[in-house]
Chain A
């Protein structure tokens, strides 16, 4: 097992027909982090179905976000960051695919290069030199100030999880008092789209 590995896009990890995953890949005991996106019917309880299945089966979820993306077709997108062995990740995807309101399950990590971003609102209470230091960090991270009082700032920072983590760590000694994060929104790079054939 050991530490979690950041899974990288590999050439054709899957074989040519449904369910086929090379045995050697499934027997790889390392833990990988995967980003999975679902297209679901935006109906009452769909988030409870997804989160209940995940907790009921004991899968490890680092982030789960949901929002409507197509009002006319009542579609929502759920982005899940999860970690597990290859065998567990395949199970997570298969179990998600089994839920009736799920249109499509995409493993963005496997399908290869993808962008994942999250937004954090970070409140720092500080005076004096710390204020200047906080603003300098804000600039370096291309964060923006969305609220300011003589005793505090609220920064908005957008980036991948590691960047947001780094920004928050820098704010900690400067008077960090509160953090609110969105969890990730993720999308595959390139021209291929999620919505085109899911009607």
Chain B
């Protein structure tokens, strides 16, 4: 009855009908959207016209649609909000696909509005037509084609709800031009999370699972926490509860690449990152533990190494909001399907109430101390060439008091950044983990900078990755995003070269980049400041200069081209088969099935 009454009322009030484009903007406003990253084109002209007429939502014009999504990811990951993207049909949508896939793999909440050809032309191979729904189905959490302006507001609200709740992810809303030009009525946002008829992610843990988990924790002699990006996605409550639980239990903790910053790296319980380029102590603790408590992590192959040999003697507790993450790669004893924050808070309460006598952890910590004694990240900065690790370590040391946001591209520099930047806060580390997208960092840094105009935002890059979306310097200049692009230039696709060295007889097939640009001139051509340093004695001064320049800066650091990233768990090997140095690498050749793994 209420709906019917509202409909009758609308007929009396034709002003309640609005254009599709206006409905879109109103829905975005009601979702709290402040910034849209986008690129115009024919199919979205009505939406751009509506953007032009208002001042509440800021539009950041990128130079490529892939960068629009990465920028929205940087915005989302640095704020915890949903990132919003607007691109046109056909090439606009297909260019966004890499960004959408990246956001799906790293569970980043994105709503991407794509233009579409008018409904009567769909399927006719019209100009700039692509089957966006078909193409993006496997690289989004969900997608929608809106065929009627009357449905626009409801669908956009639902898209935001799906993107931000449960395991977050990208959602595409495909809007034909006749729909954005049509007329419809507005619908307010969903009133509650349970309002959706099918999509109702479970957030509260089952008390029985919590009881079993705490019983295992209370008996553990060699426990380790293994946390991931899910803790950060869950938000401040999860981060606070994690820290409290760590303080209460005194257990050691390691984290995936995506989870860095949830637990402070300057604490004694912190073991460093786990996985292929994780620390000796973190990987051996994972291998030797008797209880693993996985929180918001998904047992990715970069974390587990050889699955058959993964942590053979442990019971496993796995907290994840996505039931499909549980028992996917590793069979676990106690699954907890829940939001990390709610589950961790429940564990804190249950741990406080648990009175069973607990075995001491002194022996386990003595073992950890012994592993730490290996000093696995050791390198030597000597001679006239800058070591890449040294450049990154100095950068973080000099910048850390300014609470910087650190973005990266993908490769050796990314792993060194993960190893040497000691994050103490969540949402400060923005990197492409699951998909490993070169070209992610610069646009992501711009997105983070737009969200935090006064913060220090640095993209640690390799010269190869930096070139993949270098056009975004133009975006940074236009929108006064003072990002610092810190390029570790070793003239190689360093990680590719490292693998070729270890797996393919040092035949460096196409991993050396000839004809690199002059990055200082390139920066200047875009209207940025450009700096270059190759002398170790001038490194600190150049970093300080970069940080002091008010606008966007490109700082190129010429580094040792032969340096490799260690420790490394070679493909097909277990956590206790790490390579710790170049000498070690020669002794442990990768053979057999390991060669076929990525």
A interface residue numbers (CB < 8 A to B): 16-21, 23, 26-27, 41, 44-45, 48-49, 52-53, 56, 87, 90-91, 94-95, 97-103, 199
Residues of B within 8 A of A97 (CB): 323-324
Residues of B within 8 A of A101 (CB): 198
- 16 intermolecular pairs with C-beta atoms under 8 Å apart: A16-B208, A18-B323, A18-B337, A19-B323, A19-B327, A19-B335, A21-B327, A21-B335, A41-B197, A45-B145, A52-B137, A53-B138, A98-B322, A100-B142, A101-B198, A102-B198
Given known contacts A52-B138, A91-B328, A18 and B162 CB-to-CB distance under 8 angstroms: no
Residues of A within 8 A of B134 (CB): 48
Residues of B within 8 A of A103 (CB): 197-198
Nearest CB on A from B404, distance (A): 35
B interface residue numbers (CB < 8 A to A): 133-134, 137-138, 141-142, 145, 162, 197-199, 202, 206, 208-209, 322-324, 326-328, 331-337
* Beta-carbon nearest neighbor of B325 in chain A: A94
Given known contacts A44-B145, A56-B138, A101-B198, A27 and B331 CB-to-CB distance under 8 angstroms: yes
Given known contacts A49-B137, A56-B138, A94 and B326 CB-to-CB distance under 8 angstroms: yes
Q: Is the CB of B323 within 8 A of A17?
A: no
State A44–B328 Cα separation when bound (angstroms). 29
State A53–B137 Cα separation when bound (angstroms). 9
* Beta-carbon nearest neighbor of A98 in chain B: B324
* Beta-carbon nearest neighbor of A27 in chain B: B331
Selected from A44, A91, A99, the residue in CB contact (under 8 A) with B327 is A91
Nearest CB on A from B399, distance (A): 39
State A103–B200 Cα separation when bound (angstroms). 10
Q: Is the CB of A100 within 8 A of B137?
A: no
Q: Is the CB of A18 within 8 A of B206?
A: yes
Residues of A within 8 A of B336 (CB): 19
Residues of A within 8 A of B337 (CB): 18-19
* Beta-carbon nearest neighbor of A18 in chain B: B337
Q: Is the CB of B198 within 8 A of A41?
A: yes
State A9–B239 Cα separation when bound (angstroms). 43
Q: Is the CB of A87 within 8 A of B137?
A: no
Q: Is the CB of B133 within 8 A of A45?
A: yes
A-B contact count (CB 8 A): 67
Nearest CB on B from A111, distance (A): 17
Given known contacts A49-B137, A56-B138, A17 and B206 CB-to-CB distance under 8 angstroms: yes
State A14–B65 Cα separation when bound (angstroms). 46
Nearest CB on B from A138, distance (A): 43
Residues of A within 8 A of B198 (CB): 41, 100-103
Residues of A within 8 A of B324 (CB): 91, 94-95, 97-98
Residues of B within 8 A of A87 (CB): 327, 331
State A26–B333 Cα separation when bound (angstroms). 10
Q: Is the CB of A100 within 8 A of B202?
A: no
Residues of B within 8 A of A49 (CB): 137
Residues of A within 8 A of B133 (CB): 45
Selected from A20, A53, A100, the residue in CB contact (under 8 A) with B162 is A100
Residues of A within 8 A of B334 (CB): 20
State A101–B200 Cα separation when bound (angstroms). 11
Nearest CB on A from B209, distance (A): 5
Q: Is the CB of B333 within 8 A of A19?
A: no
State A95–B137 Cα separation when bound (angstroms). 14
State A102–B333 Cα separation when bound (angstroms). 27
State A91–B298 Cα separation when bound (angstroms). 13
Nearest CB on B from A58, distance (A): 13
State A27–B331 Cα separation when bound (angstroms). 8
Residues of A within 8 A of B141 (CB): 100
Residues of B within 8 A of A23 (CB): 331-333
Residues of B within 8 A of A27 (CB): 331
Residues of B within 8 A of A91 (CB): 324, 327-328
Residues of A within 8 A of B138 (CB): 52-53, 56
State A156–B259 Cα separation when bound (angstroms). 59
Nearest CB on A from B82, distance (A): 16
State A95–B354 Cα separation when bound (angstroms). 35
- A-B pairs, 5 with minimum CB distance: A19-B335, A94-B324, A17-B206, A100-B142, A26-B331
Q: Is the CB of B209 within 8 A of A17?
A: yes
Q: Is the CB of A45 within 8 A of B331?
A: no
Q: Is the CB of A17 within 8 A of B327?
A: no
State A143–B337 Cα separation when bound (angstroms). 48
State A199–B194 Cα separation when bound (angstroms). 12
Nearest CB on B from A29, distance (A): 12
Residues of A within 8 A of B202 (CB): 18
* Beta-carbon nearest neighbor of B322 in chain A: A98
Residues of A within 8 A of B328 (CB): 91, 94
